[in-house]
Copies of this chain bind each other. A is one copy, B any other.
Amino acid sequence: MQGIEPLIYGLGLAGAAVNAASGVLEAGRKPFDLFGMVVVALAAALGGGSLRDMLLDRTVFWIADQAYLITALVAGVATFLLARRVRLPAQLFLLPDAIGLSLFTVVGTSVALAHDAPWLVASLMGVVTGVFGGILRDVLCNEAPVVFGGELYGSAAWLGALTLIALPELGVGHDVSALSAGAVICTIRLLSIRFKWHLPIYSARR
């Protein structure tokens, strides 16, 4: 590991921790016990990358490197214990969550490109890595996925993934492309929360 690699590795672990914590908070309305909450936290933190790796027939990342699993476990249990004593407002997680989304999407797209996936597939793998954990969390909580509505989330991830794929074609270096893509995702996500940007909602004629 050299250059920005150690930073990305550390941010990836931080992203897993944030996803695990927000998994517990999002599931908070459900009367789940510690075991249920840990499963939801692990699904939120590791689900996206796991689906990506199974689809690409790669070794699943948290089996290759236990650090992700341990981080998600500790973050999930800590959030479970903390939230009983301290009020943890969901807004606290908006910025870390946006950073986590950016990182997971950039890493997921890069992994797919390195695995020789075609560009459209690679961009989708970025979105899957960034978003599927939250979808799985909501399915396990028996609720419709929150990312299917509301402020821009998956679409921000997709734009960032396409940025990551397009920039090197224009001669931009790898690290700058990755940082730009992450900035695109994080910025769109935060602006969309601030200014309440929404995608069109489906409304069929009947």
Q: Find out whether the CB atom of B24 lies under 8 angstroms from the CB atom of A202.
A: yes
Query: Contacting A140 at CB < 8 Å: which of B63, B135, B203?
Result: B135
Q: Find out whether the CB atom of A35 lies under 8 angstroms from the CB atom of B66.
A: no
Interface size range on A against B: 35 or more
> What's the minimum C-beta distance from A157 to chain B, rounded to whole angstroms?
9
Stretch at the interface among A8-16, A92-100, A144-152, A173-181: A144-152
Q: A32-B149, A120-B70, A145-B140 known; A57 and B55 CB under 8 Å? A: no
Q: Find out whether the CB atom of B56 lies under 8 angstroms from the CB atom of A63.
A: yes
Query: Contacting A205 at CB < 8 Å: which of B33, B37, B85?
Result: B85
B-contact bits for A94-123, CB 8 A (1 contact / 0 none): 000000000000000000000001101100
Q: Determine whether A154 belongs to the interface, using a CB cutoff of 8 Å to chain B.
A: yes
Interface centre among A39, A139, A206 (most CB of B within 10 A): A39
Query: Contacting A153 at CB < 8 Å: which of B24, B35, B85, B88?
Result: B35
**Minimum CB distance partner of A206 in chain B:** B87
**Minimum CB distance partner of A132 in chain B:** B39
Q: Find out whether the CB atom of A63 lies under 8 angstroms from the CB atom of B31.
A: no
Chain A residues close to B by CB (< 8 Å): 24-25, 27-28, 30-37, 39-40, 50, 54-57, 59-60, 62-63, 66, 69-70, 80, 83-88, 117-118, 120-121, 124, 135, 139-145, 147-150, 152-155, 158, 198-206
